């Protein structure tokens, strides 16, 4: 079934690094408007209620206002976050590879809106095609008048650069991205100071996800009202859902923000493989959670999911059918998080490593009641510690699997 809404992934926009075709489909209009009225862009973004699509769901305009309010020291940075490394997430790579100019335009609009002069495309080093497309697209911008015009509007030279990320999952965290762009290991830092005040080399820094920025030109051109109307309240606009797992048609779906899980899986995804009943859905991103069949009619937007104890994350929906072992799946996630923890905080590194070992033991028939007790005690002790969100998100996943599938853990004990 064809996607109902198609803005970011409209076939006319999926032209790769072809500037002429991008312009023919309306590309460049938003940047021209932003050059006239950068403050107006911020108002539009605010009225559109655009959210951070990298997993946080944070209101974009707040970050923008904070960066806009700072003076350059001497620069201001915008990092376009394409680290995309969460399990089950594969949307940003599509935007970068197939619509690089759309992303670049969104980034430049944002740069004008907040006064940033250095724009860094920070892309997962394993996404070779995305890197190639962005590289080629940036070259075209340098060769065109558009960048010079934008620089003129900004009042100083806009620099576009591509920086392959570290390949570490944790590099997607915004302060970690800043460390890497500065040339260090991608360690998350404590906040405050927030990147808006002191980011790359102490300069005010805005960091937005690729998908977030891709929405920007359309909001500027069509208006906040139009954008809001695309979503299913309380969601606004569209969302790229990465659908995977035991469904007939996995893939990226651009649908109204707030589309229900039922619609996504059964109308768009073609239902479950072999007609098996749905068991659970893992939502990907830094704060993973588990959805179950009782959540089928919940809107997949940030607020609705949070209200039912879940989280939208990056919009990754990993579907598992009846017959899938939850313990094994959670153990796999935990191994990933334990591997990803950067090491700075004992709570996160020791916590994830311990939980991973205990889950592996339980999954392989060596777990004891004491192991399960320890896991539950850790779920109570760990949340909220650590300088970034990794440990809390990890515990959230484990905890929600306990809530819904405790019997499976019990049965796996020896």
Partner 1 sequence: MSNGGTPLAQARALYRVDSELAAPPELADPDTLLNAFHPDHLRSSVVKLAVGANAGENCQRELAQQLQAEAFIDEADLAGAPVTDTDVLIIGGGGAGCAAALAAAGRGARVLLVTKLRLGDSNTVMAEGGIQAAIEPDDSIQRHIQDTLRGGHHAGDPELVSAMAQDGPEVIRWLIEEGMQFEQTASGDLHTRKAGGMSAARIMHCRDYTGLEMMRVLREAVIQHRGIEVWEHSPAVELLSNERGQKCVGAVFTSLLDGRFRIVRTHSVILATGGLGRLHLNNFPTSNHLGATGDGLVLAYRIGAQLRDLDSFQYHPTGLVHPPYLSGKLVTEGVRAAGALMLNAAGQRFVDELLPRDIVCAAILRECAEGRGIRVDDGRVGVWLDTPRLERSQPGMLERQFPKLLARTQMSGIDPRSEPLLIHPTLHYQNGGVVIDVNGATTVPGLFAVGELAGGIHGRNRIMGNALLDIISFGRRAGVAAISEHDRGPKKVTLEHVNQARRALTLAGMPLTQRAPQILPDYAAKGIWNR
Partner 2 sequence: MTSTPAAATGDSQPAVNLTINGIAVAARPAMTLVEAAWHGGVPRVTGVSCLESVCGSCRVLLRRGKEVTVDLACQTFVEEGIEAVFLPPQATPKHHYEISEFTDSWNNLARFHEIFPEASHCRHCHGCVRSCPKGIDVESAINLAAAGHFRDAGEMFLECVMCDLCDSACPEQIAPAHVGLFCRRVSAHFRLRPPNLIQRLEEQRKERLLGQASPDSHE
Residues that bind partner 1 (CB under 8 A): 368-370, 414
What tokens does 221 get? 């051109």
CA distances, 181 to each of 77, 78, 220, 333, 343 (Å): 10, 11, 29, 27, 19
What tokens does 352 get? 């994830």
Selected from 370, 403, 410, 414, the binder of partner 2 by CB under 8 A is 370
Selected from 113, 371, 394, 412, the binder of partner 2 by CB under 8 A is 371
Residue 290 in contact with partner 2, rule: CB under 8 A: no
Can you list the alpha helix ranges (DSSP code H) found in 115-165? 128-143, 145-154
Q: Judged by CB under 8 A, which stretch of 47-55, 91-99, 270-278, 375-383 contacts partner 2?
A: 375-383
Q: Could you tell me which residues come within 8 angstroms of residue 272 by beta carbon, excluding any fewer than 6 positions away?
A: 246, 247, 248, 265, 278, 319, 321
Reduced to 3 states (helix: H, G, I; strand: E, B; else coil), residue 285 is coil
Considering beta carbons, is residue 371 or 399 the nearer one to partner 2? 371
Closest approach, Cβ 361 to partner 2, in A, equals 8
DSSP H or E segment with residue 37: none
Residue 183 CB neighbours (<10 A): 9
Alpha carbons 38 and 133: distance in angstroms, whole number = 27
If contact means CB under 5 to 8 A according to the sort of partner, which of partner 1, partner 2, none does residue 75 touch? none
Considering beta carbons, is residue 161 or 411 the nearer one to partner 1? 411
If contact means CB under 5 to 8 A according to the sort of partner, which of partner 2, partner 1, none does residue 414 touch? partner 1
What mask of x and - would describe binding to partner 2 in positions 324 to 363, judged by CB under 8 A? -----------------xxxxxxx-xxx-xx--xx-----
| β-bridge mates for residue 255, sequence order | 239
Alpha carbons 20 and 10: distance in angstroms, whole number = 16
Residue with tokens 């590879």: 97
The C-alpha angle 271, 273, 278, rounded to 5 degrees, equals 65
Closest approach, Cβ 56 to partner 2, in A, equals 19
Residue 378 in contact with partner 2, rule: CB under 8 A: yes
Closest approach, Cβ 343 to partner 1, in A, equals 24
What tokens does 102 get? 């759309």
Closest approach, Cβ 364 to partner 1, in A, equals 14
Selected from 234, 306, 385, 408, the binder of partner 2 by CB under 8 A is 385
Q: Please state the φ and ψ torsions of residue 15, each to the nearest 5 degrees.
A: -115, 5
Q: Please state the φ and ψ torsions of residue 119, each to the nearest 5 degrees.
A: -115, 120
Report the candidate in 393, 381, 380, 290 with the shortest Cα–Cα distance to residue 338: 393
Closest approach, Cβ 369 to partner 1, in A, equals 6
Q: Judged by CB under 8 A, which stretch of 189-197, 200-208, 284-292, 376-384 contacts partner 2?
A: 376-384
Residue 376 in contact with partner 2, rule: CB under 8 A: yes
What mask of x and - would describe binding to partner 2 in positions 173 to 192, judged by CB under 8 A? ------------x-x-----
What tokens does 358 get? 């205990």
Contact 292, 280 (CB under 8 A): yes
Closest approach, Cβ 54 to partner 2, in A, equals 22
Residue 167 in contact with partner 2, rule: CB under 8 A: no
Alpha carbons 327 and 407: distance in angstroms, whole number = 10
Considering beta carbons, is residue 297 or 373 the nearer one to partner 1? 373
Closest approach, Cβ 167 to partner 2, in A, equals 13
If contact means CB under 5 to 8 A according to the sort of partner, which of partner 2, partner 1, none does residue 408 touch? none
Binding-site ranges for partner 2 (CB under 8 A): 185, 187, 341-347, 349-351, 353-354, 357-358, 370-371, 373-374, 376-378, 380-382, 384-386
């Amino acid at each position: 079934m064809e996607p109902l809404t198609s803005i970011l992934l409209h076939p006319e926009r999926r032209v790769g690094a072809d500037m002429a075709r991008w312009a023919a489909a309306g590309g460049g209009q938003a940047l021209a408007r932003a050059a006239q009225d950068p403050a107006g862009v911020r108002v539009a973004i605010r009225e559109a209620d655009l959210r951070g699509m990298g997993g946080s769901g944070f209101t974009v305009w707040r970050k923008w206002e904070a960066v806009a309010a700072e003076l350059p020291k001497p620069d201001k940075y915008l990092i376009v976050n394409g680290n995309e490394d969460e399990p089950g997430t594969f949307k940003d790579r599509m935007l970068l590879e197939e619509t690089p100019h759309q992303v670049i335009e969104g980034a430049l609009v944002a740069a004008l809106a907040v006064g940033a002069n250095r724009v860094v495309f920070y892309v997962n080093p394993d996404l070779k095609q995305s890197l190639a497309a962005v590289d080629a697209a940036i070259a075209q911008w340098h060769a065109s008048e558009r960048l010079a015009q934008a620089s003129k509007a900004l009042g100083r030279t806009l620099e576009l650069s591509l920086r392959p990320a570290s390949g570490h999952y944790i590099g997607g965290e915004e302060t970690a991205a800043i460390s890497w762009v500065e040339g260090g290991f991608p360690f998350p830092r404590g906040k405050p100071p927030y990147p808006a005040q002191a980011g790359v080399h102490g300069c005010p820094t805005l960091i937005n996800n690729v998908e977030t920025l891709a929405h920007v030109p359309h909001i500027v051109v069509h208006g906040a009202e139009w954008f809001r109307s695309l979503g299913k309240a309380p969601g606004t606009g569209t969302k790229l859902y990465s659908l995977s797992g035991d469904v007939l048609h996995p893939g990226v779906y651009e649908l109204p923000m707030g589309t229900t899980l039922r619609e996504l899986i059964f109308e768009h995804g073609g239902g479950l493989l072999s007609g098996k009943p749905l068991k659970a859905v893992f939502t990907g991103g830094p704060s993973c959670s588990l959805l179950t069949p009782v959540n089928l009619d919940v809107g997949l937007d940030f607020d609705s999911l949070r209200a039912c104890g879940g989280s939208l994350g990056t919009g990754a929906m990993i579907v598992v059918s009846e017959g899938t072992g939850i313990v094994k799946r959670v153990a796999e996630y935990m191994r990933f998080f334990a591997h990803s923890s950067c090491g700075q905080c004992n709570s996160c590194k020791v916590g994830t490593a311990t939980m991973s070992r205990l889950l592996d033991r339980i999954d392989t028939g060596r777990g004891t009641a004491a192991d399960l007790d320890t896991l539950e005690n850790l779920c109570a002790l760990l949340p909220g510690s650590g300088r970034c969100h990794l440990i809390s998100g990890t515990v959230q996943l484990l905890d929600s699997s306990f809530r819904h599938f405790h019997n499976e853990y019990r049965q796996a004990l020896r």
